[in-house]
Amino acid sequence: MDLQLTGKTALVTGGTKGIGRATVEALVAEGMRVAFCARTAADVATAEKELRAAGGDVAGTAVDVADAAALTAWVAASAEAFGGIDVVVANVSALAIGSGEDNWQASYQVDLMHTVRLCEAAQPHLETSKGSIVAVSSVSGREIDFAKDAYGTMKAAVIHYISGLAFQLAASGVRANCVSPGNTYFPGGVWQGIEGGNPDLFATAMDLNPTGRMATAEEIAYAVTMLASPRASFITGTNLVVDGALTRGVQF
């Protein structure tokens, strides 16, 4: 099926690894131009080189998304360079799991406020293109688990914000949705770190997955790409849980 994304432009935060990198690759495969950012300049340069070598029309920039001015400037520069914005993917997370004040501050600035600032900066461009927003939240935002404190609370706030934004922007033709992944395993990711550093927690998490495995980054990126597509033209304000039946709560 043609997802009608060819020739369009996307912005992806945290595009050098994991779900973000897989999302960049998926959008490029659909014929999109993609501007992506991440905090570490060396990682951005490596990802940009690899993506271009594979034929991707991409532009990588080192941006700390907690820096409001830098994030806003990146959105503006990307829109100018590519002639507009059709899709925005708010993917970055501080992964600040725990109850310490530093974790609360990091989760607020990175998980929540980066999403808010990204959407606000991109909104005029998205209204012109009748584009879409996809924010990556988490199953930790809809149930109490080991990440219930700063991380889970801010991921829940992201879902609430995006749902409100969908209602606010519906008349302008802009859609906004969330994807909430379950446990997602990829090289350099949080679960690989837990596998080595806390094998008991890793074993407990694996036992909770009825499929017997965790998701891949590519499986989450598929959900993001589908929601970003104009084919999903009447899907807005939703939170798509992609967790292999990990969570038990019934969604109404």
What's the CA gap between 107 and 66, in Å, rounded?
A: 10
**Residue 155 catalytic?**
yes
In this structure, what DSSP letter does residue 241 have? E
> Choosing from 93, 132, 138, 229, which is the catalytic residue?
138
Residue 108 known to be catalytic: no
- What is the rounded CA–CA span in Å between residue 29 and residue 52? 12
Q: Measuring CA to CA, how many Å separate 59 from each of 12, 37, 48, 96, 162?
A: 10, 8, 7, 28, 26
Helix, strand, or coil (residue 132): strand
Residue 161 falls in the annotated catalytic set: no
- Candidates 78, 129, 137, 229; catalytic one: 137
Verify whether residue 137 is a known catalytic residue: yes
Catalytic residue among 8, 132, 155, 185: 155
Question: Two tokens at 236?
Answer: 């807005």
> Is the Cβ–Cβ distance between 138 and 151 less than 8 Å?
yes
Q: Which positions are annotated as active-site residues? A: 137-138, 151, 155
